[in-house]
Structure 1
Amino acid sequence: MPIDIWLIYVATVLALMSTPGPSQMLMLSNSAINGLPRAWLTAAGDLTANLIQMLAAGLGLATVIATSAEALTVVKWAGALYLLWIGLRTLRRSMKPISHSASRRASLRTLWLQGFVTSAANPKAVVFFAALFPQFIDPELPFWPQFLVLSATYIAIDGAFLTGYGAGAHWLSQRLKGEARRWLDRIGGSCMILAAVLLGMKNAASR
């Protein structure tokens, strides 16, 4: 892949990620509540869903998925409702006495699943990858090497963004104790609810 094309692609991805979305809100919340090392499972779930979406685009499945409106709608709204439930549960848990705070951390499996569902439920994700990649593919060159470069670049940039959001939230959580820490948990739960609302708005807009 020519370096100039790759640099344009990097700039495009950076521009697309400049505004926080549901995945970033979830990473903020899970890092604040569970700590950055555990929240990396959330990032891993998000990137796993991205990888599957990229493979679907590369294999030509994106068009099929995008045209299956009913199935796609179910996935989208199920993901939004799942995030809403997690956010409400987190808020309810933050209302308990501080002595219960040690039990607030989610399991590693749950953290991964939250990241995966949030990314997979993005209503435009598969279509996004299907529309983005062709713009930077040279038909005169072998497809899969170019596709792998584009995919690896996206994963690296997305992972860096998620880690940055998570590190900031983790740094803040380490310096808050007692009642302030409970308020941080409430903010984390609110971020999850906001992520659910963002997904819901995208779902409604895509109809």
Structure 2
Amino acid sequence: MTFSVWLTMAPLLMLLSLGPGPNNFTAMHNGIQVGARKAVIAVVGRNLAFSILMLVSALGLGAVIVSSAFWFSVVKWVGVAYLFYVGIKTWHSAAVVLEEHETENGTKAKRGHQARMRQEFLVAISNPKAILLFTAIFPQLLDLSKSVPEQFFWMGVTFCCTEFIAAYVYAMSGKQIRRLIRSPKGLRNMNRGMGSVFVLASAFLATASRI
């Protein structure tokens, strides 16, 4: 892949990454809870899931999932159920006293890196829209006169990098929201708001189609 082709492709992938979706909402939520740095670290889980989905698409299995109503529905409804679960769990999160979870550098994580990575992974791997992206959009960016595996590899690496950037943008916005929360009531309202976002995301995912 030439540098000029990459320069054309990278902004498009950046725009795709910046689009609102379940994983970016997860990054925002983590940014609110534990700060931008830890939220971005959690994106390792998201990119692991996307790497698996990209490999599946490169092997042609993604096209099977997209063309099969049954398998597309299986992936979709698993994703819907998980996002709904995350939404309800977030809604009912206890409104603890904020000072108990703060240090001079910010907010302590009530969960470790692995738990946040696992959440990002599960949200990403159960989203059929990601399979559609890698199956329907990535091939359109390929130059069939050149090595396809090499191009797919660099597109994948670029996309994973743009996902880190997008997550940072959403996590920073969450961090700014977090600074406005200074009471248990505010934390409770914040949790309910983010819980509603996840439930709404599950509703949008439920409307996903193969077209």
Q: TM-score, normalised by structure 2?
A: 0.82
Amino acid at match of 1:26: T
Native 8 Å contact 1:21 1:198 kept in 2: no
Q: Determine the C-alpha separation between the residues in 2 that align with 1:174 and 1:118.
A: 26
Native 8 Å contact 1:5 1:136 kept in 2: no
Deviation per CA, 1:130-178: give whole Å up to 9, x if none.
2222222222222222222111111111210011111221233144221
Native 8 Å contact 1:42 1:111 kept in 2: yes
Native 8 Å contact 1:29 1:169 kept in 2: yes
Whether 2:158 is the aligned partner of 1:153: answer: yes
| Alignment partner, residue 65 of structure 1 | 65
| Alignment partner, residue 198 of structure 1 | 204
Q: Determine the C-alpha separation between the residues in 1 that align with 2:41 and 2:194.
A: 17
Q: Determine the C-alpha separation between the residues in 1 that align with 2:64 and 2:33.
A: 38
Whether 2:127 is the aligned partner of 1:131: answer: no
Note closer, same or farther for the CA distance 1:127–1:11 as it changes in structure 2 (3 Å cut).
Answer: same
Is the deviation greater in 144-153 or in 32-41?
32-41
Amino acid at match of 1:200: A
Note closer, same or farther for the CA distance 1:97–1:152 as it changes in structure 2 (3 Å cut).
Answer: closer
Note the residue ranges of structure 2 that are not aligned, 5 or more in a row. 102-107
Instruction: Give the alignment of 1:4-43 within 5 angstroms.
Output: 4-43=4-43
Cα distance, 1:107 vs. partner?
4.4
Q: Determine the C-alpha separation between the residues in 1 that align with 2:195 and 2:97.
A: 16
Please identify runs of 4+ aligned residues in structure 1 that moved more than 3 A.
96-99, 101-110
| Identical amino acids, percent of aligned pairs | 27
Q: Determine the C-alpha separation between the residues in 2 that align with 1:49 and 1:89.
A: 22
1:162 to 164, 167, 174: 167
| Alignment partner, residue 84 of structure 1 | 84
Native 8 Å contact 1:83 1:195 kept in 2: yes
Is the deviation greater in 35-44 or in 191-200?
35-44
Note closer, same or farther for the CA distance 1:78–1:104 as it changes in structure 2 (3 Å cut).
Answer: farther
Native 8 Å contact 1:29 1:192 kept in 2: no
Number of residue pairs matched by the alignment: 204
| Alignment partner, residue 190 of structure 2 | 184
